[in-house]
Amino acid sequence: MEIQLWKELLDPYEQAVSELLTKFRNVKEEHEKRNLYSPIESVSGRTKTVASILEKMQRKNIPFESLEEEVEDIAGIRIICQFQEDIDTVSQMIGKRSDMEIRSRKDYLTNQKKSGYRSLHLIVWYTVETLNGPKRIQAEIQIRTMAMNFWATTEHSLQYKYKGDIPEHVREKLMRASDAIEMLDEEMSLVRSEIMDAQIDSQIETNLVKDILRCIENLYRLDNKREVVKIQNEFYRIFSTHNLEELKRFHRQLAIIAEGSRAQSVDSGKD
C-alpha cells in the first residue's frame, strides 16, 4: 500500500476520533451543567499509527483486504471513570446512543488478562460523513478507572522497554500491583456516595457563583450602582462562609431582585 493510500484510509478514522472525543466530552459537560455526577472523568483518543497497524497485521496474519474489518482499534477512544461502578453506567449509556452501535465487547474486568490488565472494551460501529459520502467504521472504546489506567499506562511503557518480553520478576511485581489496584477500586467504591455528594456540592457552588456574578453584572448595567456594590459585597461575605444553603438563599433573593429590575426597565422603556 502506498503512503497516499494510508492517508486516505486513516482520514475517516481521524475524523471519527475527533467527533467521538467531542461527543463524550459533551456528555461530561452536560452532567456538570445540570449539577449531576458525571460517570465520565476524562476522555482521550488516538488514531493507531501505521507502524502499529502493520505490527498487528503481521502478528495476526491479517491481509490488506481485511485490514478495516479485522483491525478494530484504528480509531481508539479511552474513557476514564472515577469508580468501577461508573464503567457499567458509561457502557449502558453508549448502548442507548443512536449515533453508535455496539458490535462487540471484551470484558477484561471479569476476565482479567494474564498480564493483570483490566478494562472494558467496546467495539462500536460509527458513521462519519466524508466528501465521498457516509463511511461506517469501527472504533474501540476502552473504559476503565483512573487506577486501572495508571496500571495500564505504566505496564504499557514496560512492554515497550522490554519489547513485549517483560522479565518474570517484573511481571510478578506488575501482577501484585494489579491486585492492589483492584483492592483500591473496591475501597474507593465504599466511599463513592460520599465523594459523589461532595463533588455535586462543589459543582452546584460553581454553577451558583457563575449565575450570581452574571446577575450582578446585569444589575450593574440597569440599577443604582451603589446598591449593586452592596449586593456584591454581601455575596463576597456569604461566599467566604462556605455555606452552600446560604449561597442558594442569596441566589434565590438575587433572582427576585433581578426580575424586579428587569420588569422596571421594560416598563420605563415603554414610557
Catalytic residue positions?
140
Contact region with ligand 0O2 (CB under 6 A), list: 86-94, 130-138, 152-160, 164-172: 152-160
State which residue, 17 or 219, has the beta carbon closest to ligand 0O2: 17
From candidates 23, 28, 31, 56, binder to ligand 0O2 by CB under 6 A: 56
**Nearest to 117, CA basis, from 126, 106, 128:** 106
113 binds ligand 0O2 (CB under 6 A): yes
Q: Which stretch binds ligand 0O2 (CB under 6 A): 7-15, 89-97, 110-118, 207-215?
A: 110-118
CA torsion sign for 77, 82, 83, 88 is: negative
Judged by CB under 6 A, the residue of 27, 77, 152, 216 near ligand 0O2 is: 152
# residues contacting ligand 0O2 (CB under 6 A): 14
Per the structure block, which three cell numbers stand in for 154? 505504566
Residue 149 neighbours by CB under 8 Å, 6+ apart: 78, 80
- Nearest distance from residue 127's CB to ligand 0O2, in Å? 22
Residues 6+ apart with CB under 8 A from 150: 181
Residue 143 or 254 with smaller CB distance to ligand 0O2? 143
Give how far Cα 70 sits from Cα of 61, 113, 117, Å: 10, 20, 22
- Position 258 contacts ligand 0O2 (CB under 6 A): no
**Cβ 52 to ligand 0O2, closest distance in Å?**
6
Rounded Cα distance, 102 and 18, in Å? 19
CA-CA-CA-CA torsion for 197, 199, 202, 204, nearest 10 degrees? Answer: -70
Residue 117 as a binder of ligand 0O2 (CB under 6 A): the answer is: yes
Rule CB under 6 A: say whether 106 interacts with ligand 0O2: yes
Q: Which of 253, 171, 178 is nearest to 208 (CA)?
A: 253
Say if residues 228 and 220 touch (Cβ distance below 8 Å): yes
* Residue 141 Cβ vs ligand 0O2, minimum distance, rounded to whole Å: 11
Select from 10, 12, 19, 48 the one that contacts ligand 0O2 (CB under 6 A): 48
Question: Rule CB under 6 A: is residue 150 a binding residue for ligand 0O2?
Answer: no
Select the span of 70-78, 87-95, 187-195, 254-262 touching ligand 0O2 (CB under 6 A). 70-78
Cβ closest to ligand 0O2, residue 49 vs residue 224 = 49
Under rule CB under 6 A, residue 156 binds ligand 0O2:
yes
Instruction: Say how far apart CA 177 and CA 162 lie, in whole Å.
Output: 18
106 HSE (CA, 13 A, CB side): 13
Nearest 5 degrees, angle CA 159-CA 163-CA 165? Answer: 75
Q: Would you say 228 and 221 are in contact if contact means Cβ atoms under 8 Å apart?
A: no
- Selected binder of ligand 0O2 within 20, 38, 76, 122 (CB under 6 A): 76
Binding site for ligand 0O2 (CB under 6 A): 48, 52, 56, 72-73, 76, 106, 113, 115, 117, 121, 152, 155-156
